[in-house]
Structure 1
Amino acid sequence: MNKKVEILKDKNALIERSLSLVVTKIQQAIESRGKCTIALAGGNTPKPLYEALAKQSFPWDKIEVFWGDERYVSADHLDSNQLMARQAWLSKVDFPETNIHPMSTTAGEPDLDAQRHEAELQQFFRLAPGEFPHFDLILLGIGDDGHTASLFPQTDALTVTDRLVTVGNKQGEPRLTFTVPLLNHARCIVFIVSGENKRPALREIFAPQGDEMMYPARLIQPEGELWWLLDHSAGAEFDGNLT
């Protein structure tokens, strides 16, 4: 597996490096395949990255945006990952609405919305039954409990292998999330991690042996490239120990 770990001096450097890498991967995908399919992460860490992407000059009609997970709230809710990305990036540029593919949360039944988004992915990527899409780029983060996307420790979503999208569970609150096999079919995954509170989880995630059910980010082993970009607060103890 093509795994790379970089520790940046602070959060500003983390965002700068993330921007450089994301821009490169988008450009490479467009040059190679005529478009780039990217799945975004939620949370606070990537927001300045999205704000920086809004200042770039891309052929926006050649980028197709998805999300790796979504809280089960309305699209205009302050906790919505979609809303954050629209406010920070997508609404700031001339981005075609038809190129934006949010996870629907309107059915009132999370599993039904998961099935609907899975059907959308199958149609968009022209998948045969049992096939998984190859996203050009998926952005991820981790929680201090070792979760990623909405794949939380000791939850049923971790064991789903025959779906593209499933229902995650955070302390009884449903969320929609890409499944582990979908994530692992990506051409490139980039983890963007900030904060000293992430160090205990990173120790477990990077350990040679560990419990994937307790630290779900260990399950992310993509076919393509795997990048871990950490600021110094998160990754100081790993500096020089990982390549």
Structure 2
Amino acid sequence: MQGFQLEIFPEGSAFIQRAIQIWQQLAATAIQERGRFMVALAGGSTPKKLYAALAETDGIPWQNIWLIWGDERYVPPDHPDSNYRMVRQALLERVGIPAEQVLPMPTQAGDPAQDASQYEAQLKQVFRQESSGDWPQLDLVLLGIGEDGHTASLFPGTEALQVQDRWVTVGQKDGEPRLTLTYPVLNQATQVVFLVTGANKAPILKEVLTTEAHLPCQGVNPRGRLLWLLDAAAAAQLPLQMALRKA
């Protein structure tokens, strides 16, 4: 991969505090420049820890923050597997963010393609000021990776990887639909941060950061900055010269 930053922290509070610092720095700049901070959220256990910590952090200007979702399982919003449900419990129920600034992906139509189109139309209304040509410009995109190299709901060998003319499309995992932002949207962001923790991610992380692009997460190459924020366990198999680029 090209043009990325790498920071490695011990597992625990230092990792989360660095993520919070990035959030606060980007928020301050975006709000000063345009009056609002636009973030795409990730699902997963590591982002959940970040959201819970953000809820306990003083001084975050929630009145000026807008949240969208990078992807969502096609389940009802109260389903245990719902990314929205996770974010609601970890963060939304604990902070004073205006309801109209929280934009979860719809999953109620019974037609994933219809819901993807609806979400895209909603985002186009919200982002009419923060757009570059045909694409929105998110201030921050949070992502994770799976052990198969997927990110958001962009899975290996699926049609969603080829979508270049939509903001939102339907991804597939084991025959089950998901909604996901597309590469053109992810790659228009000012800052993309991959949050990766745990020894189970070490093999795929080594492959991602040391080989030519062939995995979905390697298709994320934003016009802005790309940061891989790792804990020591996830970084354990990286080459020494790369691992030395730790914070």
Structure-1-length-normalised TM-score = 0.94
- Size of the aligned set, in residue pairs, is 240
1:116: which partner in 2?
Answer: 118
State the identity %: 49
1:3: which partner in 2?
Answer: 4
Residues 115-140 of structure 1 show CA distances to partners (whole Å, capped at 9, x for unaligned) of 00000111111278970100000100
Counterparts of 1:42-191 in structure 2 under 5 Å? 42-56=43-57, 57-126=59-128, 131-191=134-194
Q: Does 1:216 align with 2:216?
A: yes
Verify the 8 A CA contact 1:141 1:193 in the aligned structure 2.
Answer: yes
Q: Name whichever of 172-181 and 124-133 sits farther off.
A: 124-133
Residue 91 of structure 1 and its aligned partner are, at CA, apart by 1.1
Verify the 8 A CA contact 2:39 2:139 in the aligned structure 1.
Answer: yes
Matches of 2:15 and 2:223 in 1, distance apart?
Answer: 24
1:26: which partner in 2?
Answer: 27
2:231: which partner in 1?
Answer: 231
Residues 149-206 of structure 1 show CA distances to partners (whole Å, capped at 9, x for unaligned) of 0001111100000000000100011000000111000011010001111122112211
Verify the 8 A CA contact 1:6 1:228 in the aligned structure 2.
Answer: yes
AA partner of residue 6 (structure 1)? E
Verify the 8 A CA contact 1:130 1:162 in the aligned structure 2.
Answer: no
Structure 1 pair 241–59 and aligned structure 2 pair: CA distance change class (3 A): closer
Matches of 1:19 and 1:129 in 2, distance apart?
Answer: 27
- Structure 2 unmatched runs, 5+: none
Residue 93 of structure 1 and its aligned partner are, at CA, apart by 1.2
Residue 10 of structure 1 and its aligned partner are, at CA, apart by 1.4
Residue 207 of structure 1 and its aligned partner are, at CA, apart by 2.1
Residue 2 of structure 1 and its aligned partner are, at CA, apart by 4.8
Residue 59 of structure 1 and its aligned partner are, at CA, apart by 2.4
Matches of 2:94 and 2:175 in 1, distance apart?
Answer: 35
Matches of 2:54 and 2:206 in 1, distance apart?
Answer: 31
Stretches (4+) displaced over 6 A: 127-130
Matches of 1:2 and 1:31 in 2, distance apart?
Answer: 27
1:198: which partner in 2?
Answer: 201
| Root mean square deviation of aligned Cα | 1.7
Verify the 8 A CA contact 1:7 1:236 in the aligned structure 2.
Answer: no
Verify the 8 A CA contact 1:26 1:36 in the aligned structure 2.
Answer: yes
Structure-2-length-normalised TM-score = 0.92
Matches of 2:163 and 2:12 in 1, distance apart?
Answer: 34
Residues 88-109 of structure 1 show CA distances to partners (whole Å, capped at 9, x for unaligned) of 1111011110110010001000
Verify the 8 A CA contact 1:204 1:210 in the aligned structure 2.
Answer: no
Matches of 2:66 and 2:136 in 1, distance apart?
Answer: 13
Q: Name whichever of 85-94 and 106-115 sits farther off.
A: 85-94
AA partner of residue 185 (structure 1)? Q
Q: Name whichever of 80-89 and 120-129 sits farther off.
A: 120-129
Q: Secondary structure at the match of 1:236?
A: coil
Matches of 2:84 and 2:108 in 1, distance apart?
Answer: 14
Matches of 2:93 and 2:45 in 1, distance apart?
Answer: 18
